[in-house]
Amino acid sequence: MNTRTEDVIEHHLHLYNGILEFVPSLRDELDTISTDRLSKIISAITKGMSDAWSTAFSSVKHKGLKYVLLNMHSKNDALDPPIPEVEDKSMRGIAHPQLARWLCPCNKLHIFDSDPEDGMEKLQSGKIKMAATSWPTGFYENGVYDPQDKTNGLFRNHVFYSHLYIGLSAAMSESSSSKASKQARNCAFSLSSVTKHIVTIVHIIRYFTLSQVQNWTSEIGNMNLEELFWSIIDMLDDDKDPWVKDTMAWWMAYVFKHCSHFD
């Protein structure tokens, strides 16, 4: 059996076990369940996943750009040039200087920062390849990458989970002295924990939304989002790893501190 086949089997098994975690009662029925009933359950799960995916993308399509900013109320942090809320995404991704830096592979960041205009040209021409083998710079906290400590700040950027799991009102209150007018989404929806799957999905949605691609696709240039998904899962897979523990604890602390940030 080749490595590729083993990876596919492992991924399918991972998804299978994930479904059983969400629907624990299904495990006891697997040996006796009828084909018809199993098909209906699979269809319901698939539809639920599709609807949730569609809702998430729709939710961040325009508003998600607000979360690129460290301070939503500061003109110094504004996107320059500004990106209008229109259907066309051609101004995003590697066509925009700040978003191009965000998407730039972390191991090529020194090239981009030394000459941003040349860096954008190299990204656009493919001379700098964006692939799942190198994390986008925007996956790091505040877009800061330390080549001497490659996991420092990884998966700790503020973008998008603020919108998907906190909400605009609560997220904007953090960027100002005002209080949120609405309860944070994670609290309103009774989300009690952050899982590696949530962290992973947030990063995939984030990458696609900031890219210049108009409609959903698993491949954006040389970046395969499916491979990126599994790369993130693999990084977070060892629950006993101190870095994984620290990363997930950071997410829990950040996301759920917003439960009290509303009137």
Burial of 32 (0-12, 13-18, 19+ CB in 10 A): exposed
Q: Give the integer Cα–Cα distance in Å for 83 and 130.
A: 23
Provide the 3-class DSSP secondary structure of residue 42: helix
How many percent of the chain have pLDDT more than 90?
A: 41
Contact of 218 with 225, CB cutoff 8 Å: yes
Estimate to the nearest angstrom the gap between the alpha carbon of 72 and the chain centroid: 19
Nearest of 187, 161, 158, 163 to residue 262 by alpha carbon = 187
Task: Select the more confidently predicted residue: 188 or 1.
Answer: 1
- Number of CB atoms found within 10 A of residue 86's CB: 9
Cis peptide before 147 (omega within 30 of 0): no
Please write the tens of the pLDDT for every residue from 114-150: 999 999 999 999 999 999 999 999 999 989 999 999 9
What are 175-217's pLDDT values in tens digits? 444 444 444 454 544 566 788 988 998 899 889 989 999 888 8
Q: What is the rounded CA–CA span in Å between residue 186 and residue 261?
A: 12
What is the token pair recorded at 117? 């205009």
pLDDT value at position 81? 92
Ordered alpha helix ranges (H), 63-195: 97-103, 109-114, 116-125, 161, 168-174, 185-188
Dihedral of CA atoms 141, 143, 144, 146 in degrees, nearest 10, equals: 90
Radius of gyration of the chain (CA): 20
- For residue 119, the one-letter residue type is G
Determine the residue type at 123. L
What single-letter amino acid sits at 197? H
Q: CA 70 to CA 143: how far, in whole Å?
A: 10
User: Domain coordinates of the chain in residue numbers?
Assistant: 1-26, 34-260
pTM recorded for the entire structure: 0.77
* Residue 162 or 243, more confident: 243
